[in-house]
Amino acid sequence: MLPKFENFRVANGIRIYLFAIAGTAAMGIDPARLEMLSALNRKVLWLSSWTIHHANHIRPNTDGLKVGGHQASSASLANIMSALYFSVLRPQDRVAVKPHASPVFHAIQYLFGHQTRDKLENFRGYKGAQSYPSRTKDTDDVDFSTGSVGLGVAQTLFSSLVQDYVKAHGWMKDRPEGRMIALVGDAEMDEGNIFEALLEGWKQSLRNTWWVVDYNRQSLDAVVREGLWAKFESMFRNFGWDVVIVKYGKLMLEAFAEPGGEALRRWIDNCPNQMYAALCFQGGAAFRKHLQDDIGDQGQVSQLIDRRSDDELLALMSNLGGHDMASMIEAFEAIDHDRPVCFIAYTIKGVGLPMQGHKDNHAGLMTVAQMEKWRAAQNIRPGHEWDRFEGLTQDPAKLEAFLAAAPFNQEGRRRLTAPEIEVPRELTFKQSSQMSTQQGFGLILNELARGDSELASRIVTTSPDVTVSTNLGAWVNRRGLFAKAENHDLFRQEKIPSAYTWEFSPKGQHIELGIAEMNLFIMLSALGLSHSINGERLLPVGTLYDPFIERGLDALNYACYQDARFMVAATPSGITLAPEGGAHQSIATPLIGIAQDGLASFEPAFVDELSVIMRWGFQHMQREGGEGGSVYLRLSTRTIEQPQRPMGATLHQEITEGAYWLRKPGPNCDIVIAYTGAVAPEAIEAVGFIGESHRDVGLLAITSADRLHAGWTAARKLRRDRRGVQYLSHIENLLAPLSRDCGIVTVIDGHPATLGWLGSVRGNRVEALGVEHFGQTGTIDDLYRHHGLDANAIIDAAESLTVGAPIRHRKMAV
């Protein structure tokens, strides 16, 4: 079915609709519906501007800081969002709102009755409506958090892929497929992660995704380059998207149909972005002058212009497609397929406000006088600014009924839930005496893949082209790769020997990504919200090389911010990946692990610890609210001797709380070695030498500096908040038997500050060993010696802490 647009052009076989038809009747949009939508749009524009104004000019300011908010960016999207939320969106659709249009979102929810006046009055204040839409902090059903531009956009794409995954696995049941929609700033499109996502979407046959570009041709600093739309258009088409350009509104189209209208259209098309923006700011008289100077000598155009007052002329020239309700509704409703669509909607930043079009309007605020004038113009009585329908001429009962009938609202709140998936009592693996944690990770997943637990059926693995090198191969061999269509491993069919079977099918449980760590984390973010978006729980496990966490860090932070639940195994890590060299060696990641909110970080030394941590992790990923979160496993390729030991409940608990005594300190302990991860053999060896002269030396195995530190700070806060409470954290309990004189040497293949804080727990002196400088290639021995992580470095550090009690034994060079 063709949309009833008046005009389109065909480029490479794709219809690009340029403008809406003049006159609503011909479009088939019920005029009464249009009237309601236009009225609500006016209200949304008012409420979003007023919310920001109130926060900046009316609410008492106690710290002198500008509160801020983006009136111009909000105005730019008010009409498009009104069209979507009040009419086009269905309950199953999910939206990522341009971050700085947050006030528009909250205004819409306020009109729906899902947002309180209190929160709007407290916009950007403590526990008020958030500056940028937040799934976790806002209370009005934000579908996807946004804030760091670009990430929310990509999230919609991956969320659509996840929906396809859920459907292919037979879990959608009767739920209709939703559209994943991003409202995108035109300058937001500069973010590279969007392009990375586009390519991945193409590879994975993306469907059900709409991106609506708010094409106001302004960024934060300036007016954007000419012709950007054409780059967008060809790029999106190149990736298999349909492109719909909504450039002119109804008033414009009517004018174009008048004698001389074609010349006006040509003038608009050729007007440079800066000039158009400047004229929008200056107003009707300025437009008249420029039009007359440029095309006023053509009789019919002059008459066309002269027939309009300055205000009418400004209204005409501001009537770009994105600000025209009928045009936007028509453009959205014309889509009758599930191909991805990019809408490029022409808009004016700050439309309808005094700062419209001004190049400096990004953070601009209306003055009190401007707001007063605007308020009066809209018949809004002082003291009634928050009244939902104040100043509208429509019957409030009809507006109320229209809102109640909006399709978006028909199924109530939008957060779905999913039951918890049972985690087996133990995650087993094939033991051997020498192993690395990375190898153990692969073995544990392999064992899960062999079984038929519900847990295994809900695990989805994903990796940015490092599936094999992070030991996911065995899992993938058994569980297959996910694709909407089957695709067999040709090497296998041709009987060419290979350790890996690369079979794609709709039932596969591994999503192979291209090399883009941003995509990995946004994919994990989308998979990790499936319980809430699709009502079906997935337990995503992603793998990458540890140093490249930093490449995807903002996306990791974003995923945690919106409370997505996933497990990430980062391997290999540190300088222990020795021959791989400096740029592959991660120094800062343990500190990221400590500092990243929503992420419990672990660095086990032994595979039995890892299996306990993974089991705990799968439960942690499913716990409600602040109790749960995501899990980061920092692993290693270093093969080390594995302990053969019984694992009782206490040890299980200690491992997940972050530490246990591998060798308990004796009564006269004056030195403790506390180690994390792959340096365990050096720590054990050093303790052996030290023990020759210091019999009571203790060896503390730290499986999670993050959990230990978090427990310690939480306990102190608890004691401060509730005086008299005697609660001690795990690390305080562990260190309690030590005397103040006991020194602690900490050692980790990562930044020494990760464990350096241990000395503050009970006032023990600390020597913190670790890596502070970019490394180089070499053997593990070479590099541990170079960075001071070897047994002798640990012994030297211990000696510096023991007063008058030298450590006589050292490891001999081999």
What mask, x for binding Mg ion by CB under 5 A, covers residues 209 to 228?
-------x-x----------
CB of 557 closer than 8 Å to CB of 593: no
Stretch of 181-189, 373-381, 486-494, 708-716 lying at the interface with ligand TPP (CB under 6 A): 181-189
Q: Which does 505 bind (CB under 5 to 8 A by kind): ligand TPP, Mg ion, none?
A: none
Could you tell me the smallest distance in angstroms from the CB atom of residue 104 to ligand TPP?
11
Segment interacting with ligand TPP, rule: CB under 6 A, options 182-190, 453-461, 740-748, 793-801: 182-190
Please select the residue that binds ligand TPP; options are 38, 49, 73, 273, rule is CB under 6 A: 73
Whose CA is closest to 790, among 807, 774, 813? 813
Q: For ligand TPP, what does the binding mask look like between residues 184 and 223, x meaning CB under 6 A? A: -xxxx-------------------------x-x-xxx---
Identity of the residue, 186 or 790, whose beta carbon is nearer to Mg ion in the bound complex: 186
Between CA 644 and CA 30 the distance in angstroms is 76
Q: Residue 76, class by beta-carbon neighbours within 10 Å (0-12 exposed, 13-18 middle, 19+ buried)?
A: buried
Cβ 276 to ligand TPP, closest distance in Å? 14
> Which pair of tokens denotes residue 714?
């939480």
Nearest in space to 678 (alpha carbons), one of 768, 754, 749, 591 = 749
Nearest approach, Cβ of 365 to ligand TPP (angstroms)?
14
Instruction: Give the residue closest to ligand TPP by C-beta.
Output: 185
**First-to-final CA distance of the chain:** 80
Q: Which of residues 359-378 bind ligand TPP (CB under 6 A)?
A: 362
Determine the size of the site formed for Mg ion (CB under 5 A): 5
Compute the least distance from the CB of residue 249 to Mg ion, in Å.
Answer: 18
Task: Calculate the alpha carbon distances from 59 to 55, 123, 552 in Å.
Answer: 5, 10, 39
Min dist. Cβ of residue 364 to ligand TPP (A)? 11
Among 93, 143, 186, 447, binds Mg ion (CB under 5 A): 186
Q: Where are the alpha helices (DSSP H) in 62-191?
A: 71-83, 102-112, 117-121, 151-168
Report the residue number, 218 or 509, with the smaller CB distance to ligand TPP. Answer: 218
Of 216 and 439, nearer to Mg ion (C-beta) is: 216
CB of residue 348 to Mg ion, shortest distance in Å: 10
Q: How far is the CB of 779 from ligand TPP (least distance, A)?
A: 41
54 or 70: CB nearest Mg ion: 70
> Is the separation of the CB atoms in 502 and 483 below 8 Å?
no
The DSSP annotation for 477-491 comes to: HHH-EE-SS-B--HH
Q: What 3-state class would DSSP assign to 800? A: helix
638 binds, among Mg ion, ligand TPP, none (CB under 5 to 8 A by kind): none
687 and 699 Cβ atoms separated by less than 8 Å = yes
Q: Which of 139, 148, 505, 693 binds ligand TPP (CB under 6 A)?
A: 148
Closest to ligand TPP by CB, 219 vs 477, is 219
- State how far the Cα of 119 lies from the Cα of 126, in Å rounded to an integer: 9
Contacts of residue 760, Cβ cutoff 8 Å, sequence gap at least 6 = none
Q: Which is nearer to Mg ion, 186 or 682 (CB)?
A: 186
The residue range among 91-99, 184-192, 473-481, 682-690 that interacts with Mg ion, by the rule CB under 5 A, is: 184-192
CB atoms within 10 A of CB 692: 11
CA distances from 129 to 120, 121, 144 (A): 6, 8, 15
Q: Is 585 exposed, middle or buried (CB count within 10 Å of its CB: 0-12, 13-18, 19+)?
A: buried
Distance CA 190, CA 809 (A): 60
100 binds, among Mg ion, ligand TPP, none (CB under 5 to 8 A by kind): ligand TPP
**Cβ-based nearer residue to ligand TPP, 181 or 444:** 181
Query: Given the complex with ligand TPP, which of 73 and 436 has the nearer CB atom?
Result: 73
Tokens read off for 342: 């990019």
Tell the smallest beta-carbon distance from residue 150 to ligand TPP (Å): 6
Nearest to Mg ion of 235, 416 (CB atom): 235
How far apart are CB 180 and ligand TPP at their closest, in Å?
A: 19
Strand partners, 532: none
For residue 469, count CB atoms less than 10 angstroms from its CB and return exposed for 0-12, middle for 13-18, buried for 19 or more: middle
Residue 401 binding partner per list Mg ion, ligand TPP, none, with a CB distance cut-off of 5 to 8 Å that depends on partner kind? none
Nearest of 181, 150, 21 to residue 85 by alpha carbon: 181
**Judged by CB, which is closer to Mg ion: 72, or 316?**
72
Nearer to Mg ion, 221 or 781 (CB): 221
Least distance to ligand TPP, CB of residue 306, Å: 34
In the complex, minimum distance from the CB of residue 135 to Mg ion, in angstroms, rounded to a whole number: 24
Select from 107, 149, 423, 794 the one that contacts ligand TPP (CB under 6 A): 149
Half-sphere exposure of 21 toward its Cβ, with a 13 Å CA cutoff? 14
* Cα–Cα distance for residue pair 569/679, rounded to 1 Å: 18
Of 82-141, which residues contact ligand TPP (CB under 6 A)?
99-100
* Binding of residue 99 to Mg ion (CB under 5 A): no
Among Mg ion, ligand TPP, none, partner that 149 touches (CB below 5 to 8 angstroms by kind): ligand TPP
Q: Is 114 left (phi over 0), alpha (psi -120 to 50) or beta?
A: alpha
Q: 695 is written with which tokens?
A: 């019999």
Q: Of 159 and 216, which has the nearer Cβ to Mg ion?
A: 216
Rounded-to-integer distance, Cα 622 and Cα 225, Å: 47
Please say which residue, 186 or 517, places its beta carbon nearer to Mg ion: 186
**245 bridge partner residues:** 344
Task: Report, in Å, the least distance between residue 400 CB and Mg ion.
Answer: 34
Nearer to ligand TPP, 128 or 185 (CB): 185
C-beta closer to Mg ion: residue 185 or 574: 185
**C-beta of 212 vs 700, nearer to ligand TPP:** 212
Could you say which residues in the range 293-352 bind ligand TPP, by CB under 6 A?
A: 349
Q: Count Cβ neighbours within 10 Å for each residue of 341-373 and write b for 16 or more, e otherwise.
A: bbbbbbbbbbbbbbbbbbbebbebbbeeeebee
Residue 651 buriedness (CB in 10 A; 0-12 / 13-18 / 19+):
middle
Give the x/- contact pattern for ligand TPP in 522-561, rule: CB under 6 A: ----------------------------------------
Report the distance separating Cα 109 and Cα 97, nearest Å. 13
Nearest alpha-carbon partner for 622 in 423, 420, 417 = 420
Indicate which of Mg ion, ligand TPP, none lies near residue 148 (CB less than 5 to 8 Å, by partner kind). ligand TPP
Q: In what order do the strands lie in the sheet with 698-702?
A: 659-663, 698-702, 671-676, 743-748, 766-769
* Contact assessment for residue 730 and residue 708, using Cβ atoms and an 8 Å cutoff: yes
CB of 219 to ligand TPP, least distance (A): 4
| Rg of the chain taking only CA atoms, in angstroms | 31
Cα–Cα distance between 210 and 336 in angstroms, integer?
12
Q: Pick what 160 binds: ligand TPP, Mg ion, none; C-beta below 5 to 8 Å, kind-dependent.
A: none
197 or 748: whose CB is closer to ligand TPP?
Answer: 197
Q: Which stretch binds Mg ion (CB under 5 A): 103-111, 151-159, 181-189, 788-796?
A: 181-189
State both tokens at 461: 């693995």
Pairing of strands 599-602, 630-634: parallel
Pick one of 69, 185, 464, 508: the residue that binds Mg ion (CB under 5 A): 185
Judged by beta carbon distances under 5 to 8 A according to partner kind, the member of ligand TPP, Mg ion, none in contact with residue 670 is none
Site residues for Mg ion per CB under 5 A: 185-187, 216, 218
Site residues for ligand TPP per CB under 6 A: 73, 76, 99-100, 148-149, 185-188, 214, 216, 218-220, 349, 362
